[in-house]
């Protein structure tokens, strides 16, 4: 499978793909409509390159485990995972992670468009990302790809939200 086209229905019609939001070395993220709730969400799954790898099953197991663990994390500065479900694509079962769709821009794009942040704007972002990382670490995870591209800034309130846990690693048992 290359990518789902706009109009593709997932999870027995609950979600309707609208567009690709982005892709990387591991996954692809779509903007989709939750037709039952009437709201927009982000859906992430493993990309076509990963689907073709000989160790796809192992990578997918890792993706599902991280998605389920992240779904248990509730923090204002960590993207919220709403649901994890499998979708049949041809003869393979492809797992999907449904997340809140953050209305905003990533920090890298904001810096590119607006230049260096003032201390007044930078300090709250640093504190919010630090709080998110501290919380995630307390849950037994280390985010291995913290960068401006993986920090979203909400339009309302200019709050930072840490995203893209595809490279997260479980370092201890949760709660240990």
Instruction: Please give the model's pTM, rounded to 2 decimal places.
Output: 0.88
- 115-172 pLDDT per residue, tens: 999 999 999 999 999 999 999 889 888 787 899 999 999 999 899 999 987 644 544 4
In the chain, the DSSP E strands lie at 9-10, 15-23, 27-34, 39-46, 81-89, 92-100, 104-106, 141-142, 151-154, 160-162, 169-170
Average pLDDT, the chain: 90
Question: Which pLDDT does position 176 carry in this prediction?
Answer: 39
For residue 1, is pLDDT > 80?
no
pLDDT class for 65, splitting at 50, 70, 90?
Answer: confident
Angstrom distance (rounded) from CA 106 to CA 153: 6
Residues 43/97, Cβ–Cβ less than 8 Å: yes
pLDDT class for 174, splitting at 50, 70, 90?
Answer: very low
**Which structural domains are found in the chain, ordered by start?**
9-100 (3.30.200.20), 104-170 (1.10.510.10)
Set 106, 113, 145, 164: catalytic member: 145
pLDDT class for 17, splitting at 50, 70, 90?
Answer: very high
Angstrom distance (rounded) from CA 34 to CA 41: 7
Q: Is 145 a catalytic residue?
A: yes
């Amino acid at each position: 499978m290359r990518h789902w086209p706009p109009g593709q229905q997932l999870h027995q019609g609950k979600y309707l793909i609208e567009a690709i939001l982005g892709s990387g070395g591991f996954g692809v993220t779509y903007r989709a409509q939750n037709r039952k709730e009437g709201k927009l969400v982000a859906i992430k799954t493993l990309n076509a390159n990963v689907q073709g790898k000989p160790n796809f099953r192992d990578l997918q197991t890792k993706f599902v485990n991280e998605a389920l663990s992240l779904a248990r994390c509730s923090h204002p500065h960590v993207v919220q995972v709403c649901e994890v479900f499998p979708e049949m694509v041809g003869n393979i079962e492809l797992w999907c992670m449904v997340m809140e769709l953050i209305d905003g821009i990533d920090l890298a794009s904001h810096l590119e468009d607006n230049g260096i942040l003032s201390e007044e704007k930078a300090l709250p972002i640093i504190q919010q990302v630090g709080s998110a990382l501290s919380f995630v670490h307390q849950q037994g995870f280390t985010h291995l790809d913290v960068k401006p591209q993986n920090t979203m800034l909400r339009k309302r309130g200019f709050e930072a939200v840490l995203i893209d846990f595809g490279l997260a690693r479980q370092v201890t048992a949760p709660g240990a």
